[in-house]
Amino acid sequence: MEAFLISVMTVAVAEMGDRTQLLALMLAARFRKPWAILAGVLCSALLNNLVAGVVGVHVARYLTPRVLNAMVGMSLIVMALWALQSEVVPEQGEKAARPHGAFFTTLIAFSIAELGDKTQVAALTLAAAYSNLLAVVAVTTVGLVLANVPAVFIGHAAAQRVPLKALHYVSSVLFLVLGEVFLVRAFHAAD
C-alpha cells in the first residue's frame, strides 16, 4: 500500500503545473470532447510509463541532458505551431468529420510531450525502487490521469466561455516559451 500511495502522489505532484496539463487544457478547448481526451491521456500514459519502466533505464545512459532537452524543446515548439492551427468546431447539429480525432491527437501529443518528462523519470525511478514493473506502470498512470482530469474539464468549460482563437494564441505562446526554455537548457547542458 505504501508503494501505491507514494507512486500516485509522486506522479500527481510532479504533474501539477506541467506542460502536459497545458496540453490537456488546449486539447479540451479545441476538441470539446473531454472523455475522448482523457482516454487518450490514459493510453498515452500507459505507453509512456511502460517505456520508461522497461526501456528507459537502458536508453537513458545514451541520451545526454543536451540531447534530451533539445528533443523536448523542439517538440514543444512544434506543439506551439500546431496550437495556432484553426479548427472549425462543428455546430450542435453537425457531426464531426473525424470522431476519433480528439483521442488520436491526444494520444500522439501526450506521448511526445511526456518524452523525458518528470513523470517518465518518476516512473523510471519508482520501477527501480519497487521492482514491480506492472504495479508501478499502473500506479504512475493513475497519478498522471488524476492530475490531468481537472485540466481537461477546466479547458472544456473555458472553451464554452472564451473565444477559441484566444485559447489557441495563449497556448501557442506558452508552448513556445517552454520550448525555448528547454532549448536554452540544451545549449547550457554538459554532454
Question: Which 8-state DSSP code applies to residue 97?
Answer: S
- Judge if pTM exceeds 0.85: no
pLDDT band for 97, please (50, 70, 90 cuts). very low
Q: Distances from the Cα of 141 to the Cαs of 26, 49, 160, 174, in angstroms?
A: 21, 7, 29, 25
Nearest residue to 8 (alpha-carbon basis) of 123, 173, 87, 155: 123
Q: What is the mean pLDDT of the chain?
A: 75
Does residue 48 or residue 96 have the better pLDDT? 48
Rounded distance between C-alpha atoms, residue 3 and residue 1, angstroms: 5
Radius of gyration of the chain (CA): 17
21-42: pLDDT as tens digits:
778 888 888 888 899 999 999 9
Q: Distances from the Cα of 148 to the Cαs of 46, 56, 68, 154, in angstroms?
A: 14, 23, 24, 10
Give the pLDDT of residue 39. 95
Give the pLDDT of residue 96. 45
pLDDT band for 189, please (50, 70, 90 cuts). confident
Give the pLDDT of residue 38. 94
46-80: pLDDT as tens digits:
998 888 877 554 555 566 778 777 876 787 787 67
Cell match 511526456: residue? 114
